[in-house]
Amino acid sequence: MEETVIVKPEELHHLIQKKLTAAGLSEKHADIVAEHLVFADASGIHSHGAVRVDYYAERIAKGGMNRTPEITFEETGPSSGIVHGQNGVGQVVVLEATNYAIEMAKKSGIAAVGVRQTSHSGALSYYVRKAAQENLLALSMCQSDPMVVPFGGKENYFGTNPIAFAAPRKNGAPLVFDMATTVQAWGKILDARSKNKNIPDNWAVDASGKPTTNPHHVHGLLPISGPKGFGLMMMADILSGMLLGLPFGKHVSSMYNDLTKGRDLGQFILLIDPQRFTDLEQFKESIETMVTELHEIPPAEGFQQVYYPGEINQLNYEKYMKNGIPIEKNIYAYLLSDTVHFDQYSGADAFAQSGTGK
Ligand code: NAI
């Protein structure tokens, strides 16, 4: 991260909400997005925090995110349903879908909910965490624009398709694990570009499909662990795109191409009530035991301790919500300014430079 300023969560929330309402979003929807982005930055997921406001503001202002969607829930069975998002802002649509799914899973034990026509939904931890706070097990995944070369190929096909999982635990916040299925998220390449720093050769390939260490030459990202990440991103796309009759793979709409149109993206949410399988308190106790046992494992050379998967984000969240959140100086300056957006994304390809005012 570049030079940062420490911003109180309430101030960050207020500035984001103000910018999005200036772009034309309702106070209510802007409030939901602000809460989500503050959560992401506070968790240390800076690739999906305030850095996105400029892009969202441009898309909202240009009509590519529906400011007044009528979000509806079509129940297709006792444990299944489809949320029609009408290309509303992703954080609003997917939150509402998660709320429908929570209600359904509490009633029927399981909820498999697909979201049709949403926009970019941000950090998936946000949604699965909400479900786990209601004592449910949660899995969520989504498709994103094609930026990843398939294992063995040199042209992009799938997106960075993230997968997030959460479980309730006895003490403390839910256990949440959330990852893109690429070695690194696109945001990390942007970070290296802005610092003119080389990247490791297992992150990305250039236009000829060869591994590159130059962040400016990146033309495709690499899946985590070769064919295994490749398989996971395929799974996420089938469940969140194809299953809902939406474009899949290389046909998924681009983030930046046409900011006047909705992206028609999909998301998949699967919630399970542990009480249908085991005793809830015992289950939560077992998660606690697992966490303790993981913490007791001696660290390998070069490590200070074993963290449970996702713990680092939770530790950030606790610290930053209390002490203030580090935000890049140029992002903070943009949030304070009168500029609604920098008009820099429209027509850009997926590998365009992004960031605020850069
Ligand atoms: P990351 O690589 O920073 O972390 C992945 C996971 O590994 C996290 O749960 C993290 O807590 C855990 N982790 C990291 N270091 C660890 C350690 N030393 N010990 C134990 N656990 C550790 O995350 P990534 O892959 O960069 O994803 C960032 C965000 O991007 C996610 O929130 C994801 O949902 C979001 N995303 C959203 C997309 C969308 O279209 N909505 C597309 C792609 C990503």
Q: Is the CB of 123 within 6 Å of ligand 1?
A: yes
Q: What is the pLDDT of residue 2?
A: 64
Query: Is 55 in the same domain as 83?
Result: no
SS (H, E, C) 304-329: CCCCCCCHHHHHHHHHHHHHCEEEEH
Q: Is the CB of 309 within 6 Å of ligand 1?
A: yes
pLDDT digits (tens, 9 = 90+) for 32-70: 999 999 999 999 999 899 999 999 999 999 999 999 999
What is the distance in A from the centroid of ligand 1 to the CA of 68?
A: 31
Query: Is 147 in the same domain as 257?
Result: yes
Q: What is the pLDDT of residue 257?
A: 86
Determine which one of 120, 219, 251, 295 is catalytic: 120
Position 352 confidence tier, pLDDT thresholds 50, 70, 90: low
What is the distance in A from the centroid of ligand 1 to the CA of 265?
A: 20
Judge whether residue 351 has pLDDT over 80: no
Q: Is the CB of 137 within 6 Å of ligand 1?
A: no
Q: What is the pLDDT of residue 355?
A: 44
Q: Is the CB of 350 within 6 Å of ligand 1?
A: no
Nearest CA to ligand 1 atom 28: 179
Please check whether residue 301 lies inside any domain of the structure.
no
pLDDT digits (tens, 9 = 90+) for 173-212: 999 999 999 999 887 887 788 778 999 999 999 999 999 9
Q: What is the pLDDT of residue 108?
A: 98
Position 164 confidence tier, pLDDT thresholds 50, 70, 90: very high
Please check whether residue 200 lies inside any domain of the structure.
no
pLDDT digits (tens, 9 = 90+) for 309-332: 999 999 999 999 999 999 999 999
Mean pLDDT of 164-179: 97
Q: What is the pLDDT of residue 193?
A: 84
Judge whether residue 281 has pLDDT over 60: yes
Please check whether residue 236 lies inside any domain of the structure.
yes
Query: Is 8 in the same domain as 111?
Result: no
Q: How far apart are CA 143 and CA 123, in angstroms?
A: 13
* Amino acid, single-letter form, for residue 76: T
Position 357 confidence tier, pLDDT thresholds 50, 70, 90: very low
Position 350 confidence tier, pLDDT thresholds 50, 70, 90: confident
Q: Give yes or no: 46 in active site.
A: no
38: CATH: 1.10.1530.10
Nearest CA to ligand 1 atom 33: 123
Query: Is 239 in the same domain as 180?
Result: yes
Query: Is 19 in the same domain as 129?
Result: no
Q: How far apart are CA 285 and CA 154, in angstroms?
A: 47
- Read off the pTM: 0.96
Query: Is 119 in the same domain as 9?
Result: no
Please check whether residue 45 lies inside any domain of the structure.
yes
Query: Is 30 in the same domain as 174?
Result: no
pLDDT digits (tens, 9 = 90+) for 70-109: 999 999 999 999 999 999 999 999 999 999 999 999 999 9
Judge whether residue 119 has pLDDT over 70: yes
Q: How far apart are CA 336 and CA 19, in angstroms?
A: 9
Please check whether residue 213 lies inside any domain of the structure.
no
**270: containing domain:** 72-188+223-276
Please check whether residue 202 lies inside any domain of the structure.
no
What is the distance in A from the centroid of ligand 1 to the CA of 100?
A: 25
Query: Is 121 in the same domain as 142?
Result: yes
Query: Is 115 in the same domain as 145?
Result: yes
- The tokens for 120 are 């970019």
What is the distance in A from the centroid of ligand 1 to the CA of 322?
A: 22
Q: What percent of the chain has pLDDT over 70?
A: 97
β-bridge pairing 110-118 and 80-88: parallel
Q: Is the CB of 120 within 6 Å of ligand 1?
A: yes
Query: Is 232 in the same domain as 143?
Result: yes
Query: Is 55 in the same domain as 89?
Result: no
Q: How far apart are CA 283 and CA 108, in angstroms?
A: 19
Query: Is 9 in the same domain as 56?
Result: yes
Q: Is the CB of 265 within 6 Å of ligand 1?
A: no
Judge whether residue 356 has pLDDT over 50: no
Domain boundary among 276, 294, 321: 276
Q: What is the pLDDT of residue 22?
A: 98
Q: How many CB atoms lie within 10 A of CB 99?
A: 17
**Averaged pLDDT of the chain:** 95
Please check whether residue 206 lies inside any domain of the structure.
no
Q: What is the pLDDT of residue 358?
A: 37
Please check whether residue 198 lies inside any domain of the structure.
no
268: CATH: 3.30.1370.60
Q: How many domains does the chain have?
A: 2
